[in-house]
Structure 1
């Protein structure tokens, strides 16, 4: 049995990966999804995975020890840094721990940051590290001190799943779409300021899908500047917004893989992004733009919205490029092989 350990209680990128693994390998392994109580419970119910859920009040060392004692898992798969560190210190080699890293925050490069140091110390008890992109291993300041194997697997991705989900519902159209958490990493306020810098922004529709700690600040800024930004909140099905949008805006400050970009590209939407993390492996001039400042963002968006020839060419290539990343079956086989290596 595989115990997935997650700190967050919402549904986003890392949580999607866990659900894809559980669904893809349900015929091969038994799984438990352990996370704090919260909105994730409704999501797990909606996709038929609630029976796998072990709810806790908060992710702590004592809760991890208790779960392992009761469930006796063959492998513990800890998702992202906090869960990995807690599992390392809680178990100290009792059970193989896979540290599965889905993002590459800025502190990875800082040798004095407490998170960098604690992860390095806890890694002595990791049996395997799975990274979402090469950028994670390349940017971690103590990567040379890690003793366990590091494997880059990307993210599980299925064009078919995106297209099918997009057909089940519809939403209001938009010229520009932002999809992601409202946190520092995703830079939602930066997205609003890019929109504000477009000279004709009053004639455009900008929708932002997601929730997070910066939502109130973003709403307040949009209101204070008189910007017509549609805040749609958290949505179970973001694809209904993607299929009616013209382009996706991703001004992330750091990014692990960039799954949202692939999802939008599957629906033929060009992506205008920062190119950080895994985005540089996904986006190129054929399907979108990588921008370094506000002027570049504005010029790129303007070209897409004003030149139908450019837009159609990038839209066609976006679909083709997204299809080249379709890897769900292969991804699940690779994960299963890692599990089997501990049996």
Structure 2
């Protein structure tokens, strides 16, 4: 069986991180897997993909918004003689849904990675999305919330949807239940409208000065978050680290992980934190809350005081140790090997 995953870019994001672990895991289970990336501008993962021996194609146009992708994708699919074409994120979903009319042999699937996006704020895009998703024989949702929101938006049949939770490479992140050593908070997340870094900053301003905060990630809202940190006079307590490929080590050097999101399909960063033994405090939004559950602490979206209160609960040594232990136990349900196996079962079922 030969699979081609197609993704919009290799920028910092959950889908990009998922494929970085998923493709090698699928290859280890005997599947021939390759990757097509529409646009390498702004990439942060390319070297990591190459280190893992993943064969990557890039259309000559190297522009996720160009209609020329249709023809170049169709050519790559025909030449590769793939059994399954599996798309991720909107631009790849759009162009592949059109390219399939010129490359009809493979089975086409897509994964829905989020409960919300900006297109769903305008009814104009509903017609477009209905067309896009109708082009795929199977749609894989990363959570029940993701599936439900997609059905509500497009009316796609439930029979067409499979739910497969994301996974992580537990061996890379797995830690031991640990005691608290300090007051270092970390949030690993791209700077994007789907994330809520501002609430984390405002919570830090209310916490004792011994608390520090590290943001790991890059993105479009980074400058506005930096301005907020300056206005709150937090310059000496906040570090903007940028992109890092050493997240596992960073998590283990911090005491508390935060995942603050306006909406979230799943929450890979929260899962990585739990696997490392770093207690997680996350926004109580669908998708993310389902992953964290009772293994971490949940706070109300945008509620600064609620976040402060949840962080302070972890000042109790026994409670902190228990949450570290709970997180590790919860993470074991989400191994990348299990995720890869479930995807392969779906491929073979088609």
- The answer for unaligned runs of 5 or more in structure 1 is 165-172
* In structure 1, C-alpha distance between the alignment counterparts of 2:326 and 2:219, rounded to whole Å: 32
* In structure 1, C-alpha distance between the alignment counterparts of 2:124 and 2:241, rounded to whole Å: 35
User: What's the counterpart of residue 82 of structure 1?
Assistant: 91
Deviation of 1:143 (Å):
4.5
Structure 1 residues 318 and 39: CA distance shift in structure 2, 3 A = closer
* In structure 2, C-alpha distance between the alignment counterparts of 1:163 and 1:327, rounded to whole Å: 11
Structure 1 residues 252 and 109: CA distance shift in structure 2, 3 A = same
SS across alignment from 1:137: helix
Deviation of 1:286 (Å):
4.8
CA offsets 1:176-232 (integer angstroms, 9 cap, x no match): 111011001122233222322x242x3211000011111122122212332121001
2:58 matches 1:55? yes
Decide which of 118, 123, 138 is 1:112's aligned counterpart: 123
Higher relative contact order (CA 8 A, sep 6+): 2
Deviation of 1:148 (Å):
6.0
CA RMSD, 1 decimal: 2.4
SS across alignment from 2:286: coil
User: What's the counterpart of residue 22 of structure 2?
Assistant: 21
CA offsets 1:255-281 (integer angstroms, 9 cap, x no match): 111121121111222211112232222
Decide which of 44, 48, 56 is 1:43's aligned counterpart: 48
Structure 1 residues 109 and 39: CA distance shift in structure 2, 3 A = closer
Task: Write the mapping of 1:218-237 to structure 2, written as runs, cut at 5 A.
Answer: 218-227=225-234, 228-237=237-246
User: What's the counterpart of residue 146 of structure 2?
Assistant: 136
2:291 matches 1:282? yes
- Count of residue correspondences: 328
Query: TM-score, normalized by length of structure 2?
Result: 0.85
Deviation of 1:137 (Å):
1.6
Structure 1 residues 102 and 61: CA distance shift in structure 2, 3 A = same
User: What's the counterpart of residue 179 of structure 2?
Assistant: none
User: What's the counterpart of residue 331 of structure 1?
Assistant: 339
2:219 matches 1:212? yes
- The answer for unaligned runs of 5 or more in structure 2 is 176-181
Runs ≥4 in structure 1, deviation > 6 angstroms?
none
Q: Is the 8 A contact 2:84 2:108 kept in 1?
A: yes
* In structure 1, C-alpha distance between the alignment counterparts of 2:148 and 2:122, rounded to whole Å: 14
Q: Which moved more, 1:246-255 or 1:271-280?
A: 271-280
Deviation of 1:22 (Å):
1.8
* In structure 2, C-alpha distance between the alignment counterparts of 1:210 and 1:132, rounded to whole Å: 22
2:330 matches 1:321? yes
Q: Is the 8 A contact 1:174 1:207 kept in 2?
A: no
Q: Which moved more, 1:249-258 or 1:271-280?
A: 271-280
Deviation of 1:289 (Å):
2.7
SS across alignment from 1:20: helix
Deviation of 1:317 (Å):
1.7
Q: Is the 8 A contact 1:242 1:264 kept in 2?
A: yes
